[in-house]
C-alpha cells in the first residue's frame, strides 16, 4: 500500500495538503468571486486521501488478489472535482469562483441574516416553493428561471433572510424539510453533537464516524513506541 502526494512514479516530490489543493484547482474554486483564491479551513486533501486509501486497501483484501495499491493526494482531489472537471472536459466550460455558491443550483450558498449566516441549499422546485412561501418571495418558480436570474434570486433571498436570525430560519425551515443550517463555530458544532465525542486515555476527541450494528469501538491512549509491534 502506497499513499503518496503525487503517485509512486513522481519520485521524491514533497507534498502537503495545501500544496495539493492549490495544484488540483481546489484553491482556485474557493473564495469570493472577485477575491483571491483561498484554502478550505481544514485538511481536505489529507483526510480524503486517507479515506480513499483505506477503501482501496479494503477492496483489495475483499478481492483476494495481491498487488500494490497506489493512492495519491493529487488523484483523489482531481476525482473530487467531479462535475467541475466533467464540464470542462466535455463542454469546455471552465469553473468559476462563486463565493461558495453552487454553480448550477440557485439559491444554494451562504446568506447573511439578521444575526449569523445561513446555508441554504435549494436543489429542486419543491424546496423552493416551501422556502418561498415561508420567506414571502414571489416568482422564480422553476430551477431554470432561478439559474438564469441568479442575481435577482440572490438579492430577493438576501432581503427576506434579513428578517430573522440564522438559527431562527433553521428552526422555521426544518419542519418544511428545506435543506438549511445556521453556520456554527467548531465549538458550537461539537456541543450540538455530544454523541460524536468520546474519551480516549484521558483525552476527549471525535470518535469513529462508522457506526456498525453490534460493534462498539474501543478507544484508548496513543500507543507507546513499539507497543503494538508484535501485532503487525
The per-residue pLDDT for 232 is: 67
Q: pTM (2 decimals)?
A: 0.87
The per-residue pLDDT for 102 is: 95
CA–CA distances in Å: residue 11 to residues 15, 40, 52: 11, 27, 21
Q: Which domain holds residue 70?
A: 2-91
Identify whether 103 is part of a domain.
no
Could you give phi then psi for residue 33, rounded to 5 degrees? -55, -45
pLDDT tens for the chain, 232 residues: list them.
Answer: 899 999 999 988 999 999 999 999 999 999 999 999 999 999 999 999 999 999 999 999 999 988 899 999 999 999 999 999 999 999 999 999 999 999 999 999 999 999 999 999 999 999 999 999 999 999 999 999 999 999 999 999 999 999 999 999 999 999 999 999 999 999 999 999 999 999 998 999 999 999 999 999 999 888 889 888 887 6
CATH number of 145's domain: 3.30.1540.10
Domains in the chain, number: 3
Q: Are residues 28 and 68 in the same domain?
A: yes
Identify whether 97 is part of a domain.
no
Distance CA 116, CA 134 (A): 19
Identify whether 207 is part of a domain.
yes
Identify whether 85 is part of a domain.
yes
Identify whether 101 is part of a domain.
no
Identify whether 208 is part of a domain.
yes
**Cα torsion for 126, 129, 134, 136, to the nearest 10°?**
160
Identify whether 74 is part of a domain.
yes
Amino acid at each position: 500500500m502506497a499513499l503518496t502526494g503525487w503517485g509512486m512514479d513522481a519520485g521524491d516530490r514533497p507534498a502537503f495538503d495545501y500544496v495539493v489543493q492549490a495544484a488540483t484547482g481546489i484553491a482556485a474554486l474557493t473564495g469570493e468571486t472577485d477575491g483571491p483564491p483561498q484554502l478550505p479551513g481544514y485538511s481536505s486533501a489529507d483526510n480524503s486521501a486517507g479515506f480513499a486509501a483505506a477503501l482501496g486497501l479494503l477492496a483489495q483484501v475483499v478481492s483476494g488478489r495481491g498487488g500494490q495499491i497506489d493512492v495519491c493526494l493529487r488523484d483523489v482531489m482531481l476525482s473530487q472535482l467531479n462535475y467541475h472537471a466533467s464540464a470542462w472536459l466535455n463542454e469546455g466550460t471552465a469553473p468559476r469562483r462563486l463565493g461558495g455558491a453552487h454553480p448550477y443550483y440557485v439559491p444554494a450558498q451562504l446568506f447573511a441574516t439578521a444575526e449569523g449566516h445561513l446555508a441554504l441549499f435549494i436543489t429542486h422546485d419543491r424546496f423552493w416553493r416551501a422556502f418561498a412561501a415561508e420567506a414571502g418571495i414571489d416568482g422564480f418558480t422553476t430551477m431554470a428561471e432561478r439559474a438564469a436570474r441568479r442575481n435577482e434570486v440572490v438579492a430577493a433571498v438576501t432581503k427576506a433572510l434579513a428578517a430573522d436570525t440564522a438559527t431562527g430560519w433553521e428552526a422555521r425551515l426544518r419542519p418544511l424539510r428545506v435543506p438549511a443550517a445556521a453556520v456554527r463555530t467548531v465549538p458550537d458544532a461539537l456541543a450540538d453533537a455530544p454523541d460524536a465525542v468520546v474519551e480516549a486515555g484521558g483525552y476527549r476527541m471525535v470518535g469513529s464516524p462508522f457506526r456498525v450494528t453490534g460493534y462498539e469501538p474501543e478507544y484508548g491512549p496513543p500507543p507507546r513506541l513499539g507497543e503494538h509491534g508484535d501485532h503487525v
